[in-house]
Homo-oligomer: A and B are copies of this chain.
Amino acid sequence: MKILDCTLRDGGYYTQWDFDKKLTERYFTAMEQLPIDVVEIGYRSHASNTYFGKYYYSPVSLLQKARQLMPTKKLALMLNLKDCPANDSLIPLLEKCRGYADLFRIAADPAKINEAIALAKFIKSLGFGVALNLMYLSELKNSVTIVERLGELDGVADCISLVDSYGGVYPHEVAELIKYCKNFTNVPLGFHGHNNIELAFANSLAAIEAGCEFVDGTITGMGRGAGNLKTELLLTHLSAKAGYNVNYDVLSNIVHDFEHLKAAYQWGTNLPYMVSGINSLPQQNVMDWISKRYYSVQSIVRALHNKKLGTDDN
């Protein structure tokens, strides 16, 4: 079983992908000393008109520093499928990472499985490692035609991770879906949980039990909306139950660093995230409602009601 830590990539939703340089250097140093297999540093993106910080673009200077501080780790970068179609304009974006990034992970809506497969093959043809993060796991069980196509990534992708985008699935659902997907592909599977209903850890355990080979976590759970599986929880579990060698001084110090950020940004679950997760409402909507301080649970319940009626959310 391999651990992928994506604290900066997923945590960037709270900081617009800006992070203090010293913090990230301590983070890279800690990752190097902990039993983490893959560190996903940030997004790799084309230029944008909206302001985003360094970890949205992951420039070469950043990759050099990351590689220097994590010589023994696999380094990953995420590509948003919707912003990165498989065409020649992508080549320079990827080529600049050669020698630094081991893996590009494609974040894809399952509805865009054609484009995702095409992009994975394109990246592979350039000689890079590639993985797929398939969002909206909860909808896959009704999408046989998508799951059946995962075999097209055999020999192409290093991992296909199923993402509980809404944070609302239950352990038995995760286990069933992992087992089902294994019927159609021999690519190692992964799981990326969200913690809306405090099942990120239980779901990750169920995924591992069902044969999943990669688990995503973030320090203090820093990540979009209600946040992710806490890497420190997974490591504590693996230390106690599977003999992993964890340096608790290193782990404790980096957790402490991110707890300062958490005090400012307040990720983690709460009643609105619980209600939205269990009812499959997008994290981003709830983040916006909460950050603008005009949300009420009643507004979420109203959105749910509208959704059932097929009208637009507000």
User: A: which residues have CB within 8 A of B?
Assistant: 170-171, 195, 197-202, 205, 230, 232-233, 236-237, 240-241, 248-249, 251-252, 255, 259, 270-271, 274-275, 278-279, 296-298, 301
Contacts and interface: CB of A to CB of B under 8 A. Distances in A.
A275 B236 contact: yes
11 contacts: A171-B171, A171-B202, A198-B233, A232-B271, A236-B271, A236-B278, A237-B278, A248-B271, A248-B275, A248-B301, A249-B298
Which 5 pairs, one residue from A and one from B, show the smallest C-beta to C-beta distance? A202-B202, A252-B297, A240-B278, A236-B274, A248-B297
Main secondary structure of the interface of A (DSSP, over half): helix
Contacts of A241: 278
Contact of A205 (B170, B201, B230, B251): B170
A278 B259 CA distance: 21
Given A171-B171, A251-B297, A252-B296, A279 B240 contact: yes
A219 to B, nearest CB: 10
Given A255-B271, A278-B236, A298 B198 contact: no
Given A236-B274, A252-B271, 6 more contacts: A198-B233, A237-B278, A248-B271, A248-B298, A249-B297, A259-B270
Given A248-B298, A252-B296, A297-B249, A274 B198 contact: no
Contact of A232 (B230, B237, B240, B274): B274
Q: How many copies does the complex hold?
A: 2
Instruction: Kindly name the residue among A195, A236, A240 whose own CB sees the greatest number of chain B CB atoms within 10 A.
Output: A236
A312 to B, nearest CB: 21
A255 B274 CA distance: 13
A134 to B, nearest CB: 24
A201 B298 CA distance: 24
A259 B271 CA distance: 11
Contacts of A236: 197, 271, 274-275, 278
A258 B122 CA distance: 52
Instruction: Kindly name the residue among A197, A259, A271, A275 whose own CB sees the greatest number of chain B CB atoms within 10 A.
Output: A271
Contact of A197 (B233, B255, B271, B275): B233
Instruction: Kindly name the residue among A200, A232, A274, A298 whose own CB sees the greatest number of chain B CB atoms within 10 A.
Output: A274
A170 B242 CA distance: 14
A284 B154 CA distance: 51
A220 to B, nearest CB: 9
Nearest to A171: B202
A240 B270 CA distance: 16
Instruction: Kindly name the residue among A195, A255, A297, A298 whose own CB sees the greatest number of chain B CB atoms within 10 A.
Output: A297
A170 B170 CA distance: 15
A94 B233 CA distance: 43
A295 to B, nearest CB: 10
Contacts of A271: 232, 236, 248, 251-252, 255
A14 to B, nearest CB: 18
Contacts of A199: 201-202
